[in-house]
Amino acid sequence: CTSIVAEDNKGNLFHGRNLDFGLFMGWDVKNKSWIISEKLKPLVVNLDFKRNNQTVFKSTNFAGYVGMLTGIKPHIFTLTMNERFSLDGGYIGILEWILGKRDGMWMSFLTRSVLENAHSYEEAKTRLAQTKLLAPAYFILGGNQTGQGCIITRSRLLSIDMLEIDLKLGRWYVLETNYDHWEEPLFLDDRRTPGMKCMNQTTQKNISLKTMYDVLSTKPVLNKLTTYTTLMQVSEGKLESYIRDCPNPCMPW
């Protein structure tokens, strides 16, 4: 996965993501593609959750999956999550759950609860940072005011780090793939460097949903695992998604 929150020089916030999934879950030799990724693409849908006929939040989902990986609470905040690998991973959380220790939350149900019930960027950030989880994760959150964009690096029990947009430091965007931002990514899976190169080449002046789609369309940020791209603009309450393909030659991940 790759998630980006960026602020242009007029203070507009844009949030984009590629949802990559299906690694090592069966390779289709004839079509040179991952089996599960290809099976997930037809299931991609956009959902508009309404109460009293008013939109509460919108999301991009796989049909049949009731948790949230990508969503927007119009005019308030945008949220995506990326997988975080850790030895203290989800299987330990599941084991504790089975043994009756049930104070942790399933990741995608926390994001669903935040999208449905949080009323501000700050409230969403607090809940994503402090709620116990069954599995580690990265939460990438965008708000509706200047500077409101962050990556929350979570272990199952703690919030390990929070990297926020800081215009004074020249950090006009935050970009997360699947590795802690203070460490080098796996040398065989560095989507961060090409992603940041393209964001820097785009510049803060020119960042928009359009140019963010360009960044998310550049290999290896776009790869064989990419099922969809979602673009969100909180001030417009806008969410749009596109099912992706990565024609050969293309990185398997």
Q: Catalogue the active-site residues.
A: 1
Q: How far is CA 227 from CA 6, 61, 90, in A?
A: 22, 11, 23
Number of residues near other proteins (by CB under 8 A): 77
3-state secondary structure of 95: helix
Q: By CB under 8 A, what part of segment 72-101 binds other proteins?
A: 83, 85-86, 89-91, 93-94, 97-98
**Interface residue with other proteins, options 9, 11, 31, 63 (CB under 8 A):** 63
Q: How far is CA 93 from CA 80, 110, 131, 178, 241, in A?
A: 21, 14, 14, 20, 32
67 binds other proteins (CB under 8 A): yes
20 binds other proteins (CB under 8 A): no
CB of 242 to other proteins, least distance (A): 5
Q: By CB under 8 A, what part of segment 107-166 binds other proteins?
A: 107-109, 116, 134-135, 137
Q: Token pair for residue 28?
A: 């289709």
Q: How far is CA 231 from CA 137, 156, 234, 236, in A?
A: 21, 28, 10, 12
**What is d(CA 98, CA 237) in angstroms, rounded to the nearest whole number?**
39
- Whose Cβ is closer to other proteins: residue 62's or residue 121's? 62
Q: By CB under 8 A, what part of segment 24-43 binds other proteins?
A: 25-26, 35-36, 39-43
236 binds other proteins (CB under 8 A): no
Contact 143, 126 (CB under 8 A): no
CB of 216 to other proteins, least distance (A): 9
- Whose Cβ is closer to other proteins: residue 157's or residue 164's? 157
Query: Given the structure tokens 């599941």, which residue do they identify?
Result: 94
Reference 224, options 15, 16, 26; nearest CA is 26
Q: By CB under 8 A, what part of segment 168-187 binds other proteins?
A: 187
Reference 196, options 227, 154, 181, 228; nearest CA is 181
**Interface residue with other proteins, options 127, 131, 162, 194 (CB under 8 A):** 194
- Whose Cβ is closer to other proteins: residue 96's or residue 164's? 96
- Whose Cβ is closer to other proteins: residue 137's or residue 148's? 137
What is the bridge-based pairing of β-strands 2-7 and 54-62?
unpaired
Amino acid 117 reads N
198 binds other proteins (CB under 8 A): yes
Query: Given the structure tokens 């999956």, which residue do they identify?
Result: 65
Applying CB under 8 A, which part among 6-14, 46-54, 124-132, 169-177 lies near other proteins? 46-54
